[in-house]
Structure 1
């Protein structure tokens, strides 16, 4: 077995016995001399059994979204969607798709309008009663992303809107259903939606699971 797989087993053991993730991760990462990528993978993708069960209960299927008002963690969803389209997303142990690049924020790029159009077109098919995108205000050019989102929402005839927020993680807890893979947000809301994962399934886009990575750690090099 690879050092990464052994580290996973030890981390899982400790998490299931109530150890704090940071302390447990520091211990196993140092013990098995993991790389930064391997450490980040475990931090993002591995959870206690109780956390996994809790998220399974919160995670909605696409047919359960009709008529709901969605709060969307804008940059989190955009980053994950771009990661999916570029072949860099991983399906984590709790059933959520995540980007493993350690970005400090989102960078507006030529693909942003196209990716938002893909996202909003998919949302239209889900028939929510309203959609609200919240974008981190401190992120560079976030105002431009808000404007693009508004324009595309009007194009698709979606109710709701987009706005800047100084603390999206705080503001999103006011929604019953939230699209995000951020652990801090997931813990605070009743239901969650994994839009990038749904789009991947709809488009037939393949992505590795955390088990695939444990078996082939070289996948972290993608």
Structure 2
């Protein structure tokens, strides 16, 4: 067993652990939402807001993840489905996106609740994925969801160019075989587009997928409540998510 996890970075408590910083981030998300809703590009908006509030790079990363335009929020709300809508349906899961978020959550890293009700983390693949102590537990949580929801099939989609994606595909296949689960695993060069085009129901917190898929399910929010997970979540929004 390795000793890796996806816990907090040094300095995260300073950036996200005080009410002063959270109030600054909430104001930044409100401003970012205003700009996005009026057609400003995300990069320009985050630069303007980041400069105004003197945000550090990880705070800007959290800001981008939490923000969306009014049109994006309305369209995502329209396409979101509840757990009771999943029975006998095939669900496509954004493999690294969901795994890394769950690994971060289980490592007690900060995760951030966005305007759309999705949680997002500050970790990333950066061309290489490495298993951590929380990887198996994350897969087990997804298996619990699979069994409780009554979905007909779960399709994991991994980024083929990412190092170790083939190993993760095999791990998922082996786990499914041992547990007698109807799972499939795909390697795709453009997993976001593949999920958007092929999934009847997508599971991801990736903004592009949420904006282009047919429908989506908020798996991590479901797991937090259903499994009563302890979460180091940061709410940097003023209004209730939809």
Aligned to 1:147: 170
Which residue in the other structure is 1:90 paired with? 112
Partner of 2:15: none
Aligned to 1:187: 211
Unaligned regions of 5+ residues in structure 1, if any?
215-222
- Is 2:153 the counterpart of 1:130? yes
CA contact (8 A) 2:155 2:183 kept: yes
Q: Distance in 2 between matches of 1:52 and 1:93?
A: 7
Q: Is the 8 A contact 1:84 1:200 kept in 2?
A: no
Distance in 2 separating the partners of 1:186 and 1:12: 17
Gaps of 5+ in 2: 1-19
Q: CA RMSD in A?
A: 2.0
Q: Output aligned runs, 1:31-42, within 5 Å.
A: 31-42=52-63
Change (3 A) 1:146 1:202: same
**Cα drift, residue 167 of structure 1:** 1.4
- How far residue 141 of structure 1 moved from its aligned partner, in angstroms, is 1.7
Residues 1:57 and 1:209: Cα distance change in structure 2 (over 3 Å): farther
If the length of structure 2 is used for normalisation, what is the TM-score?
A: 0.80
Output the CA distance in 1 between the equivalents of 2:209 and 2:140: 25
TM-score, normalisation: structure 1: 0.87
Counterpart residue number, 1:71: 92
1:159 aligns with one of 156, 179, 182: 182
